[in-house]
Structures are given as structure tokens and as C-alpha cells.
Chains A and B, each alone.
Chain A
Amino acid sequence: MAEVVLKGVGKCYGPVVAVRDFNLAIADQEFVALVGPSGCGKSTTLRMVAGLEEITSGVVAIGGRVVNDLPPKDRDIAMVFQNYALYQHMSVRDNLAFGLRNRKVPESEIAAQILRAAKMLGIEPLLERHPRQLSGGQQQRVALGRCLVRNPKVFLFDEPLSNLDAQLRSQMRLELKELRKRVPTTSIYVTHDQVEAMTLGERIVVMKDGLVQQVGSPLDLYRRPANRFVAGFIGSPAMNFIDARVAAAGDDVMIATEGLSLRLTDKVAATLRKHAGNAVVMGVRPQHVMLDGAGGGNLLRFQATLSTSEQLGDQQLLDARLGGTLLRVSGIDAALKLADGTMLTLAMAPENMHFFDAVSGAALG
């Protein structure tokens, strides 16, 4: 059990900068997810904490001790890899025992630890098998077991579920959550899947091009994305973005784009007033656009042409054409029959609208 602190951490490969000025303090027993597209530096950051990559600049501390120059074996961490990284030439039991034997733990205690971890993960019947005789899910359980037996200060996960099929992935996600309740060790979890980050992480760090974009709780990121990238990355289906222009006429603040002109209400109007005359990007999540929003007086209504609809069984996804952009709408009643080309009346609540600077992408307000 320990807190992990990264202060101004950076990594360069020659002239290529992989991670830039990464600052994060992870509390004891906290579960932090690093998420971002491939090549954003999240794995590199994790590997710097693990000691598998040298730290170019900054400081990494685990449990109050600076570990920059410590080899991985002395950092008291455990890591789960995307491709399991089990020792192929050893049985499952020896895989689990490997780390403990290296630390000269007495055999009787090793046996006890293995039994405890195996019971927790349900891999007792597999202990005498070899990794190649196991399925992907079983291999990943063994890899988790290898971490559990060691009782390390920190767990590091490097895309542990990426090699599993979709069904198994969601099942393992639940199991990880269950496991977490029983073994509340400080954890850093790297993934490119925002669903995994949202469901597992107590706090999420969104990264892009080696830079931290936003740090916050899952709900924070969803409700108040710091910039256009985070807004588009978190949430599924992805947020709609519409290029628009702010105009102020007397007391009214209008947001206008091709085929749409909306009068904004008090709170949103106040924040946007100072951007009058500027180009902005308006963002709204597909879940927050409603069809024929009858109720609610403060809903903003507008017209759009149905381009395509996708039937998912429990709901429909609509693609509506609004001027030059396609607007995605989700959560539409599956039984509703809509012909392509129909003119739809859509509505959204002002509090669900997000505005970003057209150039920097930073959230306005």
C-alpha cells in the first residue's frame, strides 16, 4: 500500500517526445486509469513507473521514496501485460511462485500464497498446467495471480483486457472490479478503451500526444470535458460537434450554424456573451438530443433531415443532416418507423450543450 507521485515526468526518444510534463498524485488505494489513443504516451508513462523505461526528466516516487534510479525489482510493484507475458516454459504454479522464490520467501509460505490467489481467481484446477494449454481469459487470470501473490505496493495494468474477445472482456472487467474490493491496492490501469476507463477508474487521466488533457472522476470527464478531445473521446457514441458562430443582439445571445439558429438562455448566454462574433464548436452527446421533445419549456428545438437510421433492437441510432454536418441521435424508440429523408424536429436542453474554442479546442465557460 502506497501512494504514487509523478512530478514533471517526461520521456524523450532522441528528438521524439513521448511524454511531456506529467504531474499526478495517486492516493493510497486509489485506482487511476490512463486512457488515450494509441501513441499518446500512456503506456510509456506506466513503464516509467515500472522502471522498464528510463525517466528523461522529472521524479517518480512510490510510497514516499524516489524510484527514478531503482531497477524494477526493487520498486515493489507488480504488472499485468496485454499479452499476459507468462513464462511459457513453467507451469502455472511455478509462474506464480517465480517472484516469491526470487525474494527467498520460504516454500511453505509460497504454497499458502499461491493457494490464496488461486482460490480468489478460480484457477486452482489449472495450477499444474502450462500457459500454452490455457485460454486467453485463463492466462490473464494467471497473470493477475502472479501479481496477487506478491502483495506489492502498486499494481500496474498495461491494457490487460485488450487481447480478449468482447464478451470475455466485459466479464473480466467485472471480475477486476470484484477483485478490487478484496485487494484494494493502489493501481494504475492503462487502456485505450474509454468504457474500461470509465467503469474501473476512480479517477481518469486522459492523454493525447504525450500531454495530459484532463484528470478527473468518470462523471467529471463526462459532464465537464476540459476540451474538445476529451469530449469526443469519453462517451459512446461519440459527442456530436457542430461548427457554429456566436452572435449577440441586444440581450439575446444567439448560436448560429447552417440550418440552425438558437437563442441561448441565461446561464449559457452569460458564458458565451464574451465570445460574441467568434467561431465556436458546439458539442452535444447523442443521448442528449431528443426527438420531438414535447415536454420541458426550456428545450431548444430545431429541424433536421433523417439521413440514415440504425436498428439496434433495444433502440435506434439516427443520423440527421443539419446543414453540412451529420448529427447523431441515440436512444430512439426501436418500434418507431422512420423513413429516410423525413424532416425531424429535434430538441436539446441548454445545460447539455458544450462549447469549445474553434482553434484551441478548450472548453468555453
Chain B
Amino acid sequence: MTAASLELVPPPRKGFFAALAPGGVKVLFALLAVGIAFLFAFPVLWLVLTSLRPPSGVYFVHRGTEFTFHNYAEALAQPNMLRAFFNSFAISTLATVLSLGVTVTSGYMLSRFRGPVPNAWFSVIYVLRCVPYISWVLPLFFVTRQMGIFDTYWGLLLPHVAVHICFFSWIMKGFFDGIDPSMEYAALIDGCTRWGAFFRVALPSAVPGLTALAILCWLYTWNEFLFALMLTSHKTPILTVVMAQFVHELGMEWHLMSATALMALVPALIVTVFGQKYVIRGLRV
């Protein structure tokens, strides 16, 4: 009897891509990826070009060779613009800090405790989450007026925090679900109280998730338009609202709007670039 042949013959290539050269599939997917990336990047590119054209050139962005930085100076010189930048920044940061403070404890409770209180809380945020975002606006308008906080920091902060708590408690619960509770048991035995175990063991382990939430929360508030439009007025200008005011009865100042939008993009870009890996981890939950 002869020894069994060990020569391996690669099976013939089959399927849709068989006709391509061996590396061809890779090239094809790379091209596809570039195409999709371009699809998303194109509006931003257009925005950059528009912001650099003089007012007469905004409808002919693809033609002409005249470029100027004057739009940026003019946009910044608008009344309220600098205050709007500051207000948006302050509201986003405060909303992030306040809502995370609540979200962390609420997510932890939902993840670790059973009983009537967590169940009731779970139901409340579940129901509130189901309410369409837009239907909150009108009641909030009346409520903030009644409370005398319309067009103030609190008048915008509190609604934002309320929405964040409903949306992000769930994500935070997911993060704590992923952290082994026996670490906290060990801390209890090692001399911690329940709060001590939470602050000194569970919370430090949740930092990646917390960072992701902070970034999402901040970006969300920074970009938010509807609440800002309805719940603020002249006293508390907000960037997204001020930006929209370049469209008015006398015409549309696209060049100024683009310049403002681009400037508004910068902080968001910085936050995203530095926090990208946390956000990806956060969204995976």
C-alpha cells in the first residue's frame, strides 16, 4: 500500500468575485470604502468652500477662484455671536456634568438593585423615552415660563438634563452590567460601605463608559436646536439658534452661516478626535 498523498490542491475559486485577480477583492472594497467616506465628507467639504467664498460666489462654489477669510470676521462680529459661543459651551458642559452625576447613580441602581424603587424608576424612564422628543417642547415652553426660568440657563439646562437622564441611564446600566459585581463584594468585605464600593471600585472601572457618555452628552447638547429655539430668546443666545438666524426675510447669508457652522464644528471635532475610542466602546454596549 502506498502512503496517502499529502499534496494539497487549492480548491477552485468560486462565486461572484472569482473573475478578479486574487488581490482584486481587497481593492474593490477599498474603493467602496473611499466612496462611502467621500459621500459623508462631501457636505463638509462644500461647507468649507462656501465659507471661503465672497457673498456673490456662494451659489457658484464649484466655479471661480476668489477666496476670502472675511466671512469669519463678519460672522464673529455679529451681535450675540461670541455670547452664543460661550452660552452653548457653558450649557453643554453644565448639562454634561449634571446629567452624568444623576445618570451614573441611576444606571448603577438599575444594574445592581432589584425591588419596587428601581422597577418604578425603570418604568418612568422607559415611558418618558417612548414620548417623541418634539412633543416635549411645547409643554416645556409653558412650564419654564410659569417657573420664570424661560430664556435663562436653568430653563434650557433642566430640560436637557431630564432628556439625558432618560436616554443615558440605559447606556450606563449596560456599562455596569459589564462590570463584574464581585469586585464590589470584595470591596465590601475589605472595609467599604455600599457607597464606598460604588465610588472607589465600581466608578473607576466605569470610566471608559463614563467618558463615552460625557462626549455623547456634550456633543448632543452642543448640536441641539429644537429646545434651544423654543426655550431661549435674546437674553440667552444659543449658537445653533443664532446660526439659523442667518436665514431671514431679507435673504439667506450662506457664507456667514457656513463660516459660523465651521467654527462651531471645531470644538466638536476636538472632542470627537480625542474621545473617539471611548465613544466606539460606548456605542458597542
Measured CB to CB, the residues of A under 8 A from B are 50-52, 71-73, 75, 77-79, 81-83, 85-89, 98-99, 102-103, 146, 150
- Choose, from B3-11, B179-187, B258-266, the stretch at the interface: B179-187
Count of CB-CB pairs between chains A and B under 8 Å? 60
Instruction: Name the 4 nearest CB pairs between A and B, nearest first.
Output: A102-B191, A99-B190, A85-B182, A85-B186
For A83, give its contact among B180, B191, B204, B205 (CB under 8 Å): B180
Tell me if B189 and A77 are in contact (CB < 8 A): yes
Chain A: which residue is nearest B186 at the CB level? A85
Residues of A within 8 A of B201 (CB): 87
Chain A CB within 8 A of B192 CB: yes
Measured CB to CB, the residues of B under 8 A from A are 180, 182-183, 185-193, 196, 201, 204-205, 207
Tell me if A98 and B190 are in contact (CB < 8 A): yes
Tell me if B189 and A83 are in contact (CB < 8 A): no
Interface centre among A50, A72, A81, A88 (most CB of B within 10 A): A72
Smallest CB separation, A69 vs chain B (Å): 15
Cα distance A82–B207 in the bound complex, in angstroms: 24
Given A71-B193, A73-B190, A79-B185, 18 more A-B residue pairs with CB atoms under 8 Å apart are A52-B188, A72-B185, A73-B188, A73-B189, A73-B193, A77-B189, A82-B182, A83-B180, A85-B180, A85-B183, A85-B185, A86-B186, A88-B205, A89-B204, A89-B207, A98-B190, A99-B190, A102-B196
Residues of B within 8 A of A51 (CB): 188-189
Tell me if B192 and A102 are in contact (CB < 8 A): yes
Cα distance A171–B190 in the bound complex, in angstroms: 27
23 contacts between A and B (CB under 8 A): A52-B185, A71-B188, A71-B193, A72-B188, A72-B189, A73-B190, A73-B192, A75-B189, A79-B186, A79-B189, A82-B182, A83-B180, A83-B182, A85-B183, A87-B183, A87-B186, A88-B205, A89-B207, A98-B187, A98-B190, A99-B189, A146-B186, A150-B190
Residues of B within 8 A of A78 (CB): 189
Smallest CB separation, B260 vs chain A (Å): 42
Cα distance A82–B185 in the bound complex, in angstroms: 12
Residues of A within 8 A of B190 (CB): 73, 98-99, 102, 146, 150
Residues of A within 8 A of B193 (CB): 71, 73
Residues of A within 8 A of B192 (CB): 73, 102
Residues of B within 8 A of A99 (CB): 189-191
Interface centre among B185, B186, B205 (most CB of A within 10 A): B186
Cα distance A99–B201 in the bound complex, in angstroms: 12
Cα distance A365–B23 in the bound complex, in angstroms: 78
Tell me if A103 and B186 are in contact (CB < 8 A): no
Smallest CB separation, A35 vs chain B (Å): 20
Interface centre among A78, A79, A103 (most CB of B within 10 A): A79
Tell me if A87 and B187 are in contact (CB < 8 A): yes
Chain B: which residue is nearest A79 at the CB level? B189
Tell me if B189 and A88 are in contact (CB < 8 A): no
Smallest CB separation, A36 vs chain B (Å): 20
Chain B: which residue is nearest A143 at the CB level? B186
Residues of B within 8 A of A103 (CB): 191
Cα distance A92–B191 in the bound complex, in angstroms: 18
Residues of A within 8 A of B191 (CB): 73, 99, 102-103
Cα distance A71–B191 in the bound complex, in angstroms: 9
Chain A: which residue is nearest B206 at the CB level? A89
Residues of B within 8 A of A146 (CB): 186, 190
Cα distance A343–B207 in the bound complex, in angstroms: 68
Cα distance A79–B186 in the bound complex, in angstroms: 7
Cα distance A89–B183 in the bound complex, in angstroms: 11
Residues of A within 8 A of B205 (CB): 88-89
Residues of A within 8 A of B182 (CB): 81-83, 85
Cα distance A78–B191 in the bound complex, in angstroms: 10
Residues of B within 8 A of A77 (CB): 189
Residues of A within 8 A of B185 (CB): 50, 52, 72, 79, 81, 85
Tell me if B188 and A88 are in contact (CB < 8 A): no
Cα distance A99–B192 in the bound complex, in angstroms: 8
Cα distance A188–B182 in the bound complex, in angstroms: 18
Chain B: which residue is nearest A13 at the CB level? B114
Residues of A within 8 A of B204 (CB): 87, 89
Cα distance A181–B189 in the bound complex, in angstroms: 24
Smallest CB separation, A52 vs chain B (Å): 5
Chain B: which residue is nearest A73 at the CB level? B191
Residues of A within 8 A of B186 (CB): 79, 81, 85-87, 146
Smallest CB separation, A118 vs chain B (Å): 17
Cα distance A150–B189 in the bound complex, in angstroms: 11
Residues of B within 8 A of A73 (CB): 188-193
Smallest CB separation, B184 vs chain A (Å): 8
Smallest CB separation, B261 vs chain A (Å): 40
Tell me if B187 and A50 are in contact (CB < 8 A): no
Cα distance A25–B208 in the bound complex, in angstroms: 46
Smallest CB separation, A154 vs chain B (Å): 11
Smallest CB separation, B201 vs chain A (Å): 6
Cα distance A77–B185 in the bound complex, in angstroms: 12
Chain B: which residue is nearest A84 at the CB level? B182
